[in-house]
Amino acid sequence: MSLKGHTPQMYLVIDQGNTLIKAAFFKGDELLWVKNYTHFDGEELTGLFNNTSVIHGIISSVSGEPGLITEQLPEVKWIVLDHNTPLPVANLYHTPESLGKDRLAGVVAAAKLHEGRDILVIDAGTAITYDLINKNKEYLGGSITPGLNIRFKGLNTFTGRLPLYTPAEFNDLTGRDTYTSIMSGVMAGTLFEMQGFICKYEEFYPGLHVVITGGDAKYFDEKLKCNIFASPNLVLIGLKLILQHNLEK
């Protein structure tokens, strides 16, 4: 896909996660292009934006050194997200320096997309995170649990005979062999965990909005028995909003 002919303001957003590196181009609030990488390809991105006049970028990394990416794209005016970066929300986390940047970006996006609401953000990735931001745009914190692949690998690694399986669609509660028993335990067990978190938060925040994102969200968004908003690019949108917030300062 070529971006030739688009005029500024263009934004480059990079989310370096535990498993994949996600890159996206925005023109204003419009998401033009997004791609996942196992290994970063700076040359491909340079070829996409070399016909634009200005590029501002933001990078969030939870798994590597962001400088290894920013050095490949010296044309970009970078913001590297850390705990000192100004935000459009209030961060009340007690140890902001240890907070995952992806968690922070997710709640920033949710607060913008569902303004004036109490929101629980569920990110079903390598780890599953639950993050609460209230209607006053105050991020309060949340929870971290193992993601699906970690759960499957844990059963295989720490037992003598259980085989390794991977996430898949599964609807039966009662397993009748090893495969279906493990699938029920992991897939249905994770679903019940999500439902439990949602129900408990709804006791404290009536009318709670729930936003789900992440690579494994597809297994759960239609099964959760509540008002769910699926947003696959939530973290990328949040990073773009943080970048815009800093450019406007």
For the chain, domains (ranges, CATH) are 10-80 (3.30.420.40), 90-237 (3.30.420.40)
- Catalytic: 131? no
Which member of 15, 102, 216, 221 is catalytic?
Answer: 102
What's phi and psi for 67, nearest 5 deg? -60, -25
On whether the CB atoms of residues 59 and 81 are closer than 8 A, the answer is yes
Give the contacts of 50 (CB within 8 A, at least 6 positions apart): none
Can you tell me the distance from the alpha carbon of 168 to that of 240, in angstroms, rounded to the nearest whole number? Answer: 32
Of 80, 45, 60, nearest to 237 (Cα)? 60
Q: Which of the 8 DSSP states describes residue 169?
A: -
**Residue 181 exposure: Cα atoms within 13 Å on the Cβ side:** 6
DSSP letters of 85-125? S--SSEE--S-GGGS-HHHHHHHHHHHHHTTTS-EEEEEES
List the pLDDT tens digit at each of the 249 positions of the chain: 445 544 558 899 999 888 888 999 998 899 998 999 888 777 777 777 665 556 899 999 887 788 888 888 888 899 999 999 999 999 999 999 999 999 999 999 999 999 999 999 999 999 999 999 999 999 999 999 999 999 999 999 999 999 999 999 999 899 999 999 999 999 999 999 999 999 999 999 999 999 999 999 999 999 997 778 999 999 999 999 999 999 987
pTM for the full model?
0.91
Can you tell me the distance from the alpha carbon of 233 to that of 110, in angstroms, rounded to the nearest whole number? Answer: 11
Catalogue the E-assigned strands of the chain: 10-16, 21-27, 30-37, 55-61, 77-80, 90-91, 119-124, 127-133, 138-146, 209-213, 228-230
